[in-house]
Amino acid sequence: MTPLEKVVVAFVGFCVLLGAVFSYVDEAFFHDSYVVEDGFTEWFTVAALFATFVVCARRLWVLRNVRNFGFLAVTGFLTFFSLFGAGEEISWGQRLFGFASPEFFIDNNAQRETGLHNLQIIVGDKKYKLNRIVFGTGLAIVFFVYLAVMTPLHRKNRAITSLLDRLGIPMPRNYQIVAYVFVLAIAELVIDSPRRGEITEFGGSLIFMLNVVFPSNGAIFEVDTGGGADK
């Protein structure tokens, strides 16, 4: 681990545990200050996702002529995903710049703000939040497959290793896997608050940044070596 990785992991661990403590000893502070909109945890989430966007965008540009289409497509998706996540987290700057929401979002967004992840879908007499379906359940399934299926196969099966490396998928290191599980366990199982998801987003985004920037197969992102991912 580099010094930066150690600092980020320690910071995440401290803040997640502190959030858990606040959720029990001072629930009002936890809800109204610690995980409030445009607060401490949200801006670190945005910063982590934007940093990931910058790294992915740079890789996409530097490797555009020396990697295959699949590699560039995955890197492009991660670039878009990171920017989209950062933008959605702050409602694309709406609260920052003070512009009004279009009528569609006023009618369909749970927070009446410009953004997709808080949209509500009405089916019959029931409302379903897109955030819970796609960005909650959907992402949970993707990460389970990524950590529990793809990662072990990448480490043990040469054919799968070659395939995933050629696709440019950043694979996690052991400490990153432990950190993901730690954040999820504390946020979702220990913290008893309707806003515990903010802690999951905060810790998960910072570990995701480390996962992408410092993957176990980092050689595939170097210009001088294809790492099995060149054209």
pLDDT in tens, 37-51: 878 899 999 999 999
Q: b vs e for 168-184, b when ≥16 Cβ sit within 10 Å of the residue's Cβ? A: bbbbbbebbbebbebbb
Look up the domain containing 39 and give its range. Answer: 3-98+166-221
- Residue 108 forms part of a structural domain: no
Does pLDDT of 104 surpass 80? Answer: no
- Residue 136 forms part of a structural domain: no
- Residue 143 forms part of a structural domain: no
- Residue 171 forms part of a structural domain: yes
Determine the Cα–Cα distance for residues 211 and 221; give it in Å rounded to an integer.
Answer: 13
| pTM recorded for the entire structure | 0.87
- Residue 183 forms part of a structural domain: yes
- Residue 227 forms part of a structural domain: no
- Residue 177 forms part of a structural domain: yes
For the chain, the domain total comes to: 1
- Residue 198 forms part of a structural domain: yes
Are 200 and 16 spatial neighbours (Cβ–Cβ below 8 Å)?
no
Does pLDDT of 17 surpass 90? Answer: yes
Q: Could you report the per-residue pLDDT of 56-99, keeping only the tens digit for each? A: 999 999 999 999 999 999 999 999 999 988 988 877 777 777 76
Q: What is the pLDDT of residue 128?
A: 65
